[in-house]
Amino acid sequence: MKRYYLTLVLFSITSTVLAQYGKGDYNHIGISLGINQTNLYTDNFNIKPAMNWTAGLSMRGNYYNNFSMIYGMNFTENKFSIETFSGFSQKEVDLKMMAVQVHLLLCYKIGGGPVSLDFGPVLQVNSKLKFNDADENNFIVGNELLRVQDIEDINTFNFNVYAGISGGFENIRLSLSYQYGVTNILNNLNQQDDVAALADGKLKGNLGVIAGNIIFYF
């Protein structure tokens, strides 16, 4: 709970400071709903991307000429599957994590029109990996000495870069975006001696998230 509280505090401070931009112009509060497809890019495991949901709050305001800014917070559940085996059978095990993201995006209106290119940094605070208890002792294909339960304690704080395109009307817009995890989300596992001793080399993984959202502005 402490890490999520810290994220809320950071978001509040950011909103207060950046609300000064666009003064005398417009600031719109947005509520977004959408879906995401999450992948984990790694050479250590066999990963399959999966779909899940995302929702958020944001504020969009004019900045300068064709530039505007978006700052906000997203709540997401991300899911992907990992290939495992138990006995003589193989099984794809779903791994999930809850995350809170604070983002600050610079947006460029193409030709001054309703379509904009959006890009910027994202701070992500996420949970451990969650999985079905019945699968916790399955061994992982690609790192056969590791079990599913050995890799649950991933990094809590991560940084992503965001690039996307959005368009529509003043009060409703659609967005399509991609986030790439700059930080090695598996690095915390390398700090655990028992896991590091079993891993086939250093564990390294970067998130890749494609998301589509509909945003309602008020």
Secondary structure element (H or E) that encloses residue 33, with its range: strand 27-41
Q: Which residues contact 84 (CB under 8 A, 6 or more apart)?
A: 90, 91, 92, 93, 135, 138, 139, 140, 141, 148
Residue 116 lies in a domain: yes
Q: What backbone phi and psi angles, to 5 degrees, belong to 190?
A: -70, -20
Residue 119 lies in a domain: yes
Residue 162 predicted with pLDDT over 50? yes
Query: What pLDDT is recorded for position 21?
Result: 41
Residue 15 predicted with pLDDT over 90? no
Query: What pLDDT is recorded for position 26?
Result: 62
Question: Taking Cα atoms as reference points, which of 165, 155, 159, 166 lies closest to residue 180?
Answer: 159
Q: What backbone phi and psi angles, to 5 degrees, belong to 15?
A: -65, -40
Range of the domain at 191: 32-217
Residue 169 lies in a domain: yes
- pTM across the whole model: 0.87
Query: What pLDDT is recorded for position 14?
Result: 47
Query: What pLDDT is recorded for position 63?
Result: 76
Q: Which of 4-8, 89-93, 172-176, 184-188 has the lowest mean pLDDT?
A: 4-8
Residue 56 lies in a domain: yes
* pLDDT per position as a tens digit, 49-89: 999 999 999 999 887 889 999 999 999 999 999 999 998 89
Residue 5 predicted with pLDDT over 60? no
How many Cα neighbours within 13 Å face the side chain of 97? 26
Q: Which of 4-8, 40-44, 161-165, 176-180 has the lowest mean pLDDT?
A: 4-8
Contact present, 32 and 215 (Cβ < 8 Å): yes
If pLDDT is split at 50, 70 and 90, which confidence band does 129 have?
A: very high
CATH value at residue 39:
2.40.160.20
Residue 143 lies in a domain: yes
Residue 203 lies in a domain: yes
**What is d(CA 160, CA 169) in angstroms, rounded to the nearest whole number?**
28
Residue 1 predicted with pLDDT over 70? no
Residue 154 predicted with pLDDT over 60? yes
- What is the DSSP track for 109-163? EGGGSSEEEEEEEEEEEE---B--GGGTTPEETTEEEEEGGGG----SEEEEEEE
Provide mean pLDDT across the span 19-28: 54
Place of tokens 């931009």: 21
Q: Which of 6-10, 36-40, 82-86 has the lowest mean pLDDT?
A: 6-10
Query: What pLDDT is recorded for position 200?
Result: 79
Q: Which of 5-19, 141-155, 198-212 has the lowest mean pLDDT?
A: 5-19
Q: What backbone phi and psi angles, to 5 degrees, belong to 85?
A: -145, 150
Structural domains in the chain (count): 1
Our measurement of the distance from residue 65's CA atom to the centroid of its chain's CA atoms, rounded to an integer in Å, reads 30
Residue 7 lies in a domain: no
